[in-house]
Amino acid sequence: MLELSTHIVYKLQRTGVLVLGCSAGGFELLTHILQALPPTLPYGVLAVIHRNARYETHLEKKLADKCAIGIKAAADKEPIESATAYFAPAGYHLLVEPNRSLSLDVSEPVHFCRPSIDVTMQSAADVYGPATAAILLSGANKDGAMGMMSIHRAGGLCIAQDPRYAEIDTMPAAAVALGGVHLILRNDELIIFSKQLSNYTFRN
């Protein structure tokens, strides 16, 4: 079990949504994190992976059989439910509406990516404010760094994979360099952390 500071525990106790972001080199660890999340998780998860709309991956179906929480592709106007991970579909930005439902957007790519991690993180921070938590993993560009800063400024919790253990360190290293990260965790620590999440009292 990870020993967490009182400050981090306080942030976890008021979490209302968790955003996971990764790109190249991050999918295996993302899978392990999702598998570690408990079925009693009292909030929803928004997952953004850089993927090409021209290729059908059946990603959600493959993950659904491996995870204790629900796994599905996000649908427009769908409410965010607890213990469910919603994946941004290829070719769409994933946004959070003020009523805490989801919306899909086809505006311009950010960092050449649609879906963009920045877009989802910034949108979640706008709606959930300090109740937003995020984990940023391996990737080959800086998408997610500004999104983490948005969450940090809103009072939420920002966690990055330790760049030394990332297959491609550009993405988590960019977030760390901006100063918007509260915790930097190794791969094994991220999995342990994920298993612990239902231990914290839900206050939203």
Question: Would you please indicate which residues are annotated as catalytic (active-site) residues?
Answer: 23, 50, 143
Instruction: Say how many residues make up the chain.
Output: 204
Number of Cβ within a 10 Å radius of residue 39? 11
Contact call for residues 128 and 156 (beta carbons, < 8 A): yes
Q: What is the DSSP letter of 147?
A: H
Q: What is the DSSP letter of 78?
A: P
Contact call for residues 33 and 135 (beta carbons, < 8 A): yes
Whether the ω angle into residue 115 lies within 30 degrees of 0, i.e. cis, is yes
Contact call for residues 64 and 72 (beta carbons, < 8 A): yes
Task: List the one residue out of 166, 150, 148 whose CA is nearest residue 158.
Answer: 148
